[in-house]
Structure 1
């Protein structure tokens, strides 16, 4: 099954303009993924306000920068300058407050934030912060294909991140090349960020241009073709657990959501 979802223009944080493709009225979630945003602009007014300190519980957040710089700070004392080509993989677990603010005042800021739901057994795990440098992320280049492996494996090469649940996260560029995945399972996402690509899965085929998301399920093989196209490839197994969600909190029950809200208001969310 292949479905195409168009991005929705939204404003989040303190006024950052985004293209949102998961977490919209068209696609509320793609279990285990609950949000995917692209921030991409060379107009500083679209991003300069950034994402001031805010809470999370029950999820992992992944920020991937292609261009520009963000500074990360959180309530556990972690701090990092997220540069072009780098990744911040944060497990919010039982609770954390963090902020991501641009260090630049001019130029293009281009990056992504992905929310990954945690299984119920890990909802209240201790928070964890990982800053992955550009030089630690392997890149495979061959036959018009370039694959940057953040998480998961491609052609026997593994990415540096070992998530709580198996997750593939790759940035793929095609120059008359072909990206193939065999024996795939679960949810497969293709967010086209450059040019156009054609996705073939099972007996279906669809073409998409930049700014749109292709969701592929219930097939065993997938193939993506393109001439000067680029996309994020993200996949994972659905948790198939009850979900209750409120803003930055993703839990299993409404009682857990109310507890998260109370803990935040009382200043003990991250304690």
Structure 2
């Protein structure tokens, strides 16, 4: 179902979309948000899953035409092992971000490891514009210790990608993007600039908050979000999105980037611009052109 948009000066806010967790296999629960939930205003995101994983869930699988991004929140217990067909083996720990640039095709698996593992994180499908869909695949790991952090008495913002308030993540992404893992104390507030032509996706992990356009009229649109809720904001001109925690401490994620105004054809883990391109990606995978993963057990 599409989400109606509300104008607030140069920013357009979608309806709030709420998702309850549902099981995927025996060891994983997810809250899933798709680009179709927000009338296209989620771009460059195609999909976002908030997962809690306690055991093996996803076997070896391919991706193409996009980036698959894994964020493990700092409350994660254990770690995630990642193995892929470009022969990078990564140990993803609490607070880390792992970026799989699928491009023309990659195969990987990511599994929980460690005693009493409980992985709390986000899995993102970040679209690539058509000009980048056939680039060579690769993987990158950003350690929690290398994440720039904005911290004061009542807020903490981890800048996982992009630049915010003078802090710039060392992560090199194929296209500009801002990813912030944030927390606010009760009644604390912060703001995120949103350039013209960009979309912003806001997700509340726990607690609750209000969001509106900074400096808008008192009668301007304002949205309230609870735990498990998400909203998008689209900018037709430069603006600032204000975030205000309600009467409890709030954890949230902000992801913003330039909108990719191209058709989206998703066939499982492949994100292309046409049915023909999607069929070609499937054929390439079946022909073994995505490579293989070396034994990791």
TM-score by length of 2: 0.83
The corresponding residue for 1:43 is none
Q: Name stretches of at least 5 consecutive residues in structure 1 with no aligned partner.
A: 41-45
1:223 equivalent in alignment to 2:242 = yes
1:184 equivalent in alignment to 2:195 = yes
CA drift at 1:173: 0.6
CA drift at 1:18: 0.8
The alpha-carbon distance between structure 1 residues 19 and 122, as it changes in their structure 2 partners (threshold 3 A), is same
The corresponding residue for 1:213 is 230
Q: Name stretches of at least 5 consecutive residues in structure 2 with no aligned partner.
A: 1-11, 293-297
Query: For 1:139-178, what per-residue CA distance to the aligned partner results, in whole angstroms no more than 9, with x for missing partners?
Result: 1112412110011111111012121111000011101321
CA contact (8 A) 2:149 2:167 kept: no
The alpha-carbon distance between structure 1 residues 35 and 139, as it changes in their structure 2 partners (threshold 3 A), is same
Distance 1:8 1:26 in 2: 14
The corresponding residue for 2:205 is 193
CA drift at 1:105: 4.8
The corresponding residue for 1:130 is 140
1:52 equivalent in alignment to 2:34 = no
The alpha-carbon distance between structure 1 residues 243 and 194, as it changes in their structure 2 partners (threshold 3 A), is same
Query: For 1:246-269, what per-residue CA distance to the aligned partner results, in whole angstroms no more than 9, with x for missing partners?
Result: 000001111111111111112123
The alpha-carbon distance between structure 1 residues 211 and 28, as it changes in their structure 2 partners (threshold 3 A), is same
TM-score by length of 1: 0.91
CA drift at 1:93: 0.4
CA drift at 1:108: 3.0
Distance 1:228 1:87 in 2: 23
CA contact (8 A) 1:192 1:211 kept: yes
SS at match of 1:51: coil
Query: For 1:219-239, what per-residue CA distance to the aligned partner results, in whole angstroms no more than 9, with x for missing partners?
Result: 612100114111001001111
| Residues 72-221 of structure 1 mapped to structure 2, 5 A cutoff | 72-175=82-185, 176-185=187-196, 186-201=198-213, 202=216, 203-218=220-235, 220-221=239-240
SS at match of 1:97: strand
1:35 equivalent in alignment to 2:59 = no
